[in-house]
Amino acid sequence: MQRRNLLLGAILVASTALAGMPALAAGDPFKIGLILPMTGPFASTGRQIEAAARLYMAQNGDEVAGRKVELIVKDDASVADTTKRLAQELIVRDKVGVIAGFGLTPLAMATAPLATRAKVPAVVMAAATSSITEQSPYVVRTSYTTPQVTSKIAEWAAGQGMKKVVTVVSDYGPGLDAEKTFVAVFGAAGGEVTETLRVPLQNPDFSPFLQKVADAKPDAIFAFVPSGVGAQFMKQFVERGLDKTGVKLLADGGITDDDILNGMGDPALAAITGFHYSAAHDSELNKKFVADFASANDGMRPNFMAVGGYDGMHAIYAALEKTGGDSSGDALIAAMKGLAWESPRGPISIDPETRDIVQNVYLRRVERQGDQLWNIEFETFEAVKDPGKTGS
Amino acid sequence: MLTILIDGIAYGMLLFVMAAGLAVTLGLMNFVNLAHGAFAMIGGYVTALAMNRLGMPFLLTLPFAFLVPALVGVVAERLLYARLYRRSHLDQVLFSIALVFMAMAGTDWLLGSGQQLITLPGWLQGRFEVFGVGIGRYRAFLIVICAALVVGLQLILGRTRFGARLRAAVDDQRAARGLGINVGGIFAATFAVGSGLAGLGGALGIEMMGLDPTFPLKIMVYVLIVVTIGGTASLTGPFIAALLIGTADVAGKYYLPELGAFLIYLVMILLLILRPQGLIARAR
Amino acid sequence: MSDTTLSHPATAARPDAGQRASRDLLRRGRLKPAEIVFWLATAASFFLLPDRHLLLSEIVILGLFALSLDLIIGYAGVVSLGHGAFFGLGAYVAGLVSVHLTGEPLTGLILAALAAGILGLATGPLLLLRASDLTRLMVTLGVAMLLLEAANRAAWLTGGADGLQGVTINPLLGRFEFDLFGTTAYAYCLIVTFALFLLARRVVTSPYGLSLLAIRDNALRARSMGIPVGPRILGIYAFSALIAGVAGALLTQTTMFVSLDVLAFHRSADVLLVLVLGGVGYLYGGLIGAIAFKLLQDWFSAITPQYWMFWMGLVLMVIVLIGRDNLNALPRTLMRRLRREDRA
């Protein structure tokens, strides 16, 4: 029998008493609770965003409108109920002024009602499902939405005279979102999606699906897969010889994620992607961002996650500046609506109606410059709103 | 059709190489080593780092992808695992999961959380045609390498003195000890080879499954499925199971994409209902 | 519970074996002092730690979940790596009830429990195969993964990967609203857990529970003694599933959200880890394991959000290497030393 364990348990219960003393100081710093997946399969999302947020603070100081800004980073390991609990604790115990981060859609969905109840702004820096901003009037997004990017890829494909396309998406929320958008927009523009294939999220061996594509002989294939497995997708695309048979590979830019693009090698050259950010975006601001990011993080290249985090911090800073240090949730949200600024990705703004981001969408192809691979932008769609809401 | 079959076989072979070590540790030492995937990860990282940082050619890195995990395996076996052979299965599960946690966080800390990518030499990229059937070069390469390994393993087990001793130790540890067989030494050597094979599997699998710090957890379930279906009495069982799972998975995704991820678990449950002890059960 | 001896008048000078057995059972059924201390400490945590109620609710839910697993591992000797199936089903049923039927929490709790219990009955026969632990682990895992895929596919019902939207829970008993601080949630979880614990304790100390122990120790002997092995195991499995379903429902109701990861593999693996950490076969293992695991996790991840798993792994490994029995002996040796000083 292990009855003795009971005493141990009682001691453990009692010891929590020591762990939880409230930490409310009078100097009133402005705290930002950043909840990210720092471990598990989506850890790199968390790393990019945290690094970018810290870079923003290093570049712009940690004082806004007379208040000292503090960043509290928490790991939710991309488990939704943990995200929600951490957010709740940050609001209740740490008295944060803003919660931010949210690596995946369900994590943001779980927390949105909380933002409403607590009247605390939630800045979504990564999750990309269209409907997130409709879940609470306190949600603001600085990443992108899947339909925003996908609809422009579909428009462009139709404009290039492509008629038959097969879609291959990972079988989860964002993938299905992309599939739906592509089918609708491409169909409306006169094209035809002959087959829609869905790949299980677990065990991403794409070969059977790509074989189906090869058999269907379309003009192009539209792919949406999580950024980590994009490299495998393109390698197997080339391995099947699909690039030789003239099938174009169109994809959401996550597939040529800047973070790991360099390791992908030549197969990446096959992809034409649409996206809102490329580390190769041609602007002074972006060059400085990429250089500073790399020097602060051991040569790491910022990706779309990083720019979402960076701009999220800007939105918070700018709103606090505008309210003159008033950190009530309503004031901050009101201040964030309609903000417009120049980001490393180009000009962006927060739609005052939907609190969603309005930004340029670029079409890019991968090119080798020196010994490095970059996403080179060759066409721009300006100030794109999320079609999931505007219906445009 | 044939292309699909060949893809499935290549995938199955890969699964087998990764799972073989686990089947042996389970069968021989009755040890539930959920950290087996960690050794596969070590092998993968050895290859990825040697190629990307030292510029070694792919083939040359493979022996290291075997040796390094094997060495780590021997050290871990002598220092840690050997203490737990007599403990309950649940303790072993807890211990090996703890080891997986440490391996994952440690890798993350040393090498970052991103995907490790490698570029295969040109002669392994692309595909060739045999009688009108397109075959990926890398997949053909996998089949050849893994088949050679399987034959080698069978020969070692069946024809050598070491193999005879190993089989004796599996069948009856106490009797083997009584005959003067150094069971501890055999354990260590077997563990090393098993870990090495896992490492080799990890290295060969980068191209198909990717490689990041969560790799041990990702492949754990697949490897366990192979071992459970195959049974731990011999290597033949897991081999057949791996081929079966590999082809079923690939063919299922091609012909029945709606069933997608269901299929592999359905196949497993059905096979286990039919043969609860595994395809090739231990003689009782 | 303590005065039920009255119903067994010990008039006979030499009580026969049957009476002795029932008296033994009663003695086992009584709460021991250490147990009372444990529950008092737990109740005290409600008043002493008002700002940690959120974390504490999570601990209690995990503890209840692990308790349910203990019923089958510790008392029937059936291992499972798929207990998350019942947890997840309970969570989804509770969520769906609140969306489509009523936001009243107790109704959701009961329906979730029933659904999980029925699933337990339905899948239980898979465990009766003459199979090794490994086979059982994988069969249960397979069932859980199938359920996960089904939930992913049935996006029209479950909301798919985005999670189920619109879960709102009415105030408890119409009076206590689920507040931001998690106070109501914690009280709710604690009371439900305590009630189910008492029930589970009642079950395992009953003759039925004893017959389970006999099966666990030697199924062949138990069968030859006339114990119907199959139905007994099925019964406890369904009961355990039911409790796991309640734990899942509690999670949904206190977080007002359900997403696919309630069914994910890591739930089943974590709960097994927690239970083994706390020790199997005495009902408290799950609760203590949950407290230790979550506190360590909270503590390590506050220090290093990126690498907490490493330290967590190290602690678990050391615990296994030292051996839990030696650790358990620690309080006893301390106690003994204290008592000796008292006497001196």
| Domain locations in chain C as residue ranges | 32-287, 304-344
Identify the DSSP state of C257.
-
pLDDT of C298: 86
Which residue from C32, C295, C330 is facing A12, i.e. has the nearest CB?
C295
pLDDT of C246: 94
Asked whether the predicted pLDDT for residue B137 surpasses 60, the reply is yes
Is pLDDT larger for residue A171 or for residue A49? Answer: A49
Residues B163-219 pLDDT 10s? 888 777 777 777 888 888 787 888 888 888 889 989 998 898 888 777 888 888 888
Three-state DSSP state, A201 = coil
pLDDT of B43: 92
B106 to chain A: nearest residue by CA? A39
Strands A220-224 and A192-199: unpaired
Residues of A in contact with C152 (CB under 8 A): 171-172
Residues B34-84 pLDDT 10s? 888 899 999 999 998 888 888 888 888 989 999 999 999 989 888 888 888
Give the CA-trace dihedral at C268, C272, C278, C280, to 10 degrees.
Answer: 130
- Under 8 Å CB-to-CB from A184, ≥6 apart: which residues? none
Residues of A in contact with B207 (CB under 8 A): 232, 235
Are A12 and C291 inside 8 Å of each other by CB? yes
pLDDT of C70: 92
Which residue from A1, A9, A174 is facing C287, i.e. has the nearest CB?
A9
C308 to chain B: nearest residue by CA? B105
Residues of B numbered 219-238 whose beta carbons fall under 8 angstroms of chain C's beta carbons: which are they? Answer: 221, 224-225, 227-228, 232
Rounded to a whole number of angstroms, the distance between the first and last alpha carbons of chain C is 38
pLDDT of C185: 87
Helices A4-19 and C33-48, interaxial angle, to 10°?
10
ipTM for the whole complex? 0.82
Three-state DSSP state, A280 = coil
Look up the CATH number of domain A27-144+285-355.
3.40.50.2300
Of the pLDDT bands very low, low, confident and very high (cuts 50, 70, 90), residue A23 is very low
Question: C-alpha distances in angstroms, B12 versus B6, B9, B244, B248?
Answer: 10, 5, 7, 9
Task: List the Cα angle A324/A325/A329 in 5-degree steps.
Answer: 110
Rounded to a whole number of angstroms, the distance between the first and last alpha carbons of chain B is 41
CB of B38 within 8 Å of a chain C CB? The answer is: no
Residues of B numbered 82-111 whose beta carbons fall under 8 angstroms of chain A's beta carbons: which are they? Answer: 104-105, 108
Residues of C in contact with A135 (CB under 8 A): 165
Residues of C in contact with B87 (CB under 8 A): 320
Of the pLDDT bands very low, low, confident and very high (cuts 50, 70, 90), residue A22 is very low
Q: What's the rounded Cα separation, in Å, for the pair B173 and B166?
A: 10
Are A6 and C288 inside 8 Å of each other by CB? yes
Q: What's the rounded Cα separation, in Å, for the pair C312 and C316?
A: 6
CB of B64 within 8 Å of a chain A CB? The answer is: no
Give the CA-trace dihedral at C286, C288, C290, C292, to 10 degrees.
Answer: -150
B4 to chain A: nearest residue by CA? A208
pLDDT of A21: 38
Residues of C in contact with B221 (CB under 8 A): 141, 145, 265
pLDDT of C10: 43
Q: What's the rounded Cα separation, in Å, for the pair B176 and C244?
A: 45
One-letter amino acid of B272: L
Asked whether the predicted pLDDT for residue C83 surpasses 50, the reply is yes
pLDDT of C17: 66
Residues A226-251 pLDDT 10s? 877 788 888 888 877 787 888 889 99
pLDDT of C341: 59
**B245, exposed or middle or buried, with CB in 10 Å at 0-12, 13-18, 19+?**
buried
A268 to chain B: nearest residue by CA? B119
Picking from B3, B120, B125, B133, the residue whose alpha carbon sits closest to that of residue B51 is B120
Rounded to a whole number of angstroms, the distance between the first and last alpha carbons of chain A is 68
Average pLDDT along chain C = 82
Which residue from A200, A209, A260 is facing B115, i.e. has the nearest CB?
A260
Are A20 and C165 inside 8 Å of each other by CB? no
Asked whether the predicted pLDDT for residue C196 surpasses 90, the reply is yes
Which helix or strand (DSSP H or E) is residue A274 part of?
A: strand A271-275
Token couple for C258? 């359900």
Cβ-Cβ contacts under 8 Å between B and C: the total is 121
Of the pLDDT bands very low, low, confident and very high (cuts 50, 70, 90), residue C86 is very high
Residues of B in contact with A371 (CB under 8 A): none
Q: What's the rounded Cα separation, in Å, for the pair B143 and B146?
A: 5
pLDDT of C327: 65
Homologous superfamily of A147-275+361-390 in CATH? Response regulator (3.40.50.2300)
Min mean pLDDT across A88-102, A275-289, B112-126, C205-219 is at B112-126
Are C313 and B99 inside 8 Å of each other by CB? yes
Residues of B in contact with C321 (CB under 8 A): 80, 83-84, 95
Q: What's the rounded Cα separation, in Å, for the pair B8 and B249?
A: 7
| Sign of CA pseudo-dihedral C135, C141, C144, C146 | negative
pLDDT cut 70: percent of chain A above it = 91
pLDDT of B282: 59
Q: Computed over its alpha carbons, how large is the radius of gyration of chain B?
A: 19
pLDDT (average), residues C134-152: 86
Min mean pLDDT across A264-273, B60-69, B273-282, C272-281 is at B273-282
If you write DSSP's letter for every residue of A145-197 in order, what string do you get?
-HHHHHHHHHHHHHHTT--EEEEEEESSHHHHHHHHHHHHHHHHTT-EEEEEE
Picking from C60, C84, C36, C69, the residue whose alpha carbon sits closest to that of residue C260 is C84
Cβ-Cβ contacts under 8 Å between A and C: the total is 170
The half-sphere exposure of A206 on its side-chain side, counting CA atoms within 13 A, is 29
B275 to chain C: nearest residue by CA? C131
A38 to chain B: nearest residue by CA? B113
According to DSSP H, which parts of C49-132 are helical? 53-76, 84-96, 105-123
Q: How far is A114 from chain C (nearest CA, A)?
A: 8
Residues B230-272 pLDDT 10s? 887 777 888 888 998 888 888 887 777 677 678 888 888 888 8
Q: What's the rounded Cα separation, in Å, for the pair A254 and A274?
A: 9
Are C257 and A176 inside 8 Å of each other by CB? no
Residues C89-115 pLDDT 10s? 999 999 999 888 888 888 899 999 999
pLDDT (average), residues A82-94: 88
Q: What's the rounded Cα separation, in Å, for the pair C75 and C211?
A: 9
C278 to chain A: nearest residue by CA? A5
C284 to chain A: nearest residue by CA? A6
Are C307 and B109 inside 8 Å of each other by CB? yes
Are C306 and B94 inside 8 Å of each other by CB? no
Average pLDDT along chain A = 84
Which chains does C contact via 3+ CB–CB distances below 8 A? A, B
Is pLDDT larger for residue C252 or for residue C12? Answer: C252
Q: How far is A267 from chain C (nearest CA, A)?
A: 30
Min mean pLDDT across A241-245, A268-272, A386-390, C193-197 is at A386-390
Residues of B in contact with C265 (CB under 8 A): 221
**A61, exposed or middle or buried, with CB in 10 Å at 0-12, 13-18, 19+?**
exposed
Q: What's the rounded Cα separation, in Å, for the pair A264 and A236?
A: 12
Are A229 and B210 inside 8 Å of each other by CB? yes
- Give the mutation candidate from A197, A209, A239, A240 for the B interface (greatest B CB count, under 10 A): A239
Q: Computed over its alpha carbons, how large is the radius of gyration of chain C?
A: 21
* CATH class of this structure's domain C32-287: mainly alpha
Q: What's the rounded Cα separation, in Å, for the pair C235 and C203?
A: 11
If you write DSSP's letter for every residue of A41-104 in order, what string do you get?
TTHHHHHHHHHHHHHHHHHH-SEETTEEEEEEEEE-TT-HHHHHHHHHHHHHTS--SEEEE--S
Q: What's the rounded Cα separation, in Å, for the pair B213 and A44?
A: 11
- Give the mutation candidate from B253, B255, B256, B268 for the A interface (greatest A CB count, under 10 A): B253
pLDDT (average), residues B20-30: 79
pLDDT of C91: 93
Are B250 and A205 inside 8 Å of each other by CB? yes
